[in-house]
């Protein structure tokens, strides 16, 4: 099972709760007895639920999450896009659990693929659309049922707001803009994958980048010798070189 790496400051509302009292009793007494530490417990419980039901590499957290026990669950235990799925992920950033959003982003990507067909077939429109009720296969068409809940084509748009919110919290632009090799291996070498198992296929191995950098350099040198350094191809090679993620290279380094 993948581990979620996160750190958060302690939430402390100063008043210590009576650990000898059961949680059920604390729920009952909360109506009349202010218990700030119980709010802390509820906060941490929410973090626990998201960590448990949405880890990198898993499916999104649906209506009953991983705790559904029924073969035919209520509402199909499906991701519902008119608030339920969004609500599941609202705590992720305030609770310092940005990794838990990865399944959501993977799911949005799948919805966008299926939703492009739905937009074309149902609305004769470009782009993509997703309706209220979806499923593990990222269904995007309207669901069976009454229009008051089944026909709601703004689910995908609402989910997209999570993408921007993730950026505003993290300000992480990611590795975007780099040219990568994929699939990539480092000949006869393996590594430990996030799931703890040995693996060999990745992307942009150091060996790949080193060889490509050397080839680019030789192409440019050959062009200079042949008097063709201004050719369009050489310009493309120079541009591609600036987009390689080369370890140790300074951001303003030049390539000749």
Per-residue model confidence (pLDDT) at position 193: 87
Query: Residue 205's closest CA among 222, 189, 192, 216?
Result: 189
Question: First CA to last CA across the chain, in angstroms?
Answer: 47
Query: Residue 195's closest CA among 61, 57, 98, 101?
Result: 57
- For the chain, 256 residues long, the average pLDDT of each consecutive 10-residue run is 51 64 88 84 92 94 93 94 95 93 96 97 96 96 92 94 93 77 88 90 89 90 90 91 75 48
> pTM of this prediction?
0.68
> Would you list the domain boundaries of the chain?
1-6+55-174, 179-256
Per-residue model confidence (pLDDT) at position 1: 44
Per-residue model confidence (pLDDT) at position 45: 92
């Amino acid at each position: 099972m993948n581990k979620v790496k996160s750190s958060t400051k302690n939430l402390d509302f100063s008043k210590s709760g009576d650990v000898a009292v059961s949680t059920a009793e604390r729920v009952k007494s909360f109506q009349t007895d202010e218990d700030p530490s119980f709010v802390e417990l509820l906060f941490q419980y929410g973090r626990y639920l998201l960590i448990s039901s949405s880890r990198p590499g898993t499916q999104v957290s649906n209506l009953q999450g991983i705790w559904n026990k029924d073969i035919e669950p209520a509402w199909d235990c499906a991701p519902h896009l008119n608030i339920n799925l969004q609500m599941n992920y609202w705590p992720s950033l305030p609770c310092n659990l940005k990794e838990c959003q990865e399944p959501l982003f993977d799911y949005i990507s799948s919805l966008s693929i299926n939703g492009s067909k739905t937009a074309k077939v149902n609305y004769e429109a470009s782009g993509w659309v997703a309706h209220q009720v979806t499923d593990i296969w990222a269904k995007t068409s309207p669901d069976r049922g009454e229009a008051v809940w089944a026909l709601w084509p703004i689910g995908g748009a609402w989910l997209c707001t999570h993408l921007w919110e993730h950026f505003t919290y993290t300000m992480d632009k990611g590795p975007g803009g780099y040219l990568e090799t994929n699939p990539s291996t480092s000949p006869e070498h393996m590594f430990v994958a996030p799931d703890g198992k040995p693996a060999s296929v990745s992307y942009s191995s150091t060996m790949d980048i080193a060889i490509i950098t050397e080839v680019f350099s030789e192409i440019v040198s050959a062009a200079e010798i042949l008097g063709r350094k201004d050719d369009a191809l050489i310009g493309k090679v120079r541009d591609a070189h600036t987009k390689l993620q080369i370890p140790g290279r300074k951001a303003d380094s030049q390539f000749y």
